[in-house]
Amino acid sequence: MLRTLLLGCCLFISLSCHAGQTVVLIHGYLEDGSEWFKSGVVPILNRAGFNYLGHLAPQGFYPAHQTVNANPRYVYTLTLPSEAPILVQAQWLARYMQALQTRHPQNELILVGHSAGGVVARFSMVQMGLSANTLITIASPHLGTDKAEWGLMLGDSPFGFFAPFFGMDTINRSQALYYDLVREAPDTLLFWLNRHPHPPARYISIVRADNPQGITDTVVPAYSQDLNNVVSLQGQATTLQSVGTHALQPSDGLMLVAILFNLPMPNANPAR
How confident is the model over 180-219, as pLDDT tens digits? 999 999 999 999 999 999 999 999 999 999 777 778 999 9
* pLDDT tens track for 20-42: 999 999 999 999 999 999 999 99
Sheet holding 51-57, edge to edge: 60-63, 51-57, 73-78, 21-26, 108-114, 134-138, 202-208, 238-242
pLDDT, average across residues 83-91: 98
Question: Is the pTM value of this prediction over 0.85?
Answer: yes
Of 15 and 175, which is predicted with more confidence? Answer: 175
Question: Is residue 267 very low, low, confident or very high in pLDDT (cuts 50, 70, 90)?
Answer: low
Please tell me the CATH code under which domain 2-8+18-143+190-262 is placed: 3.40.50.1820
Residue 15, pLDDT score: 38
pLDDT per residue as tens digits for the range 52-81: 999 999 999 999 987 788 889 999 999 999
Instruction: Give the integer Cα–Cα distance in Å for 244 and 242.
Output: 6
Query: How many CA atoms lie less than 13 Å away from 193 in the CB half-sphere?
Result: 27
**Environment class of 78 (CB within 10 Å of its CB; exposed 0-12, middle 13-18, buried 19+):** buried
The rounded mean pLDDT for the chain is 89
160 — pLDDT class (breaks 50, 70, 90): low
- The residue with greater pLDDT, 215 or 12, is 215
pLDDT of residue 164: 59
Q: Is the pLDDT of residue 272 over 70?
A: no
Is pLDDT above 80 for 12?
Answer: no
Domain residue limits, the chain: 2-8+18-143+190-262, 146-180
Helix ranges, the chain (H): 2-12, 35-38, 41-47, 86-103, 116-127, 146-155, 158-162, 170-173, 175-180, 189-195, 222-225, 250-262
Beta strands 134-138 and 60-63, pairing class:
unpaired
By three-state DSSP, how is residue 166 classified?
A: helix
> What is the radius of gyration, based on Cα positions, of the chain?
18
Listing DSSP states for 200-251 in one string gives S-EEEEEEE---TT----SSS-HHHH-GGGSGGGTTTSEEEEE-S-SS--HH
**Is residue 51 scored above 60 in pLDDT?**
yes
Is residue 4's pLDDT more than 60?
Answer: no
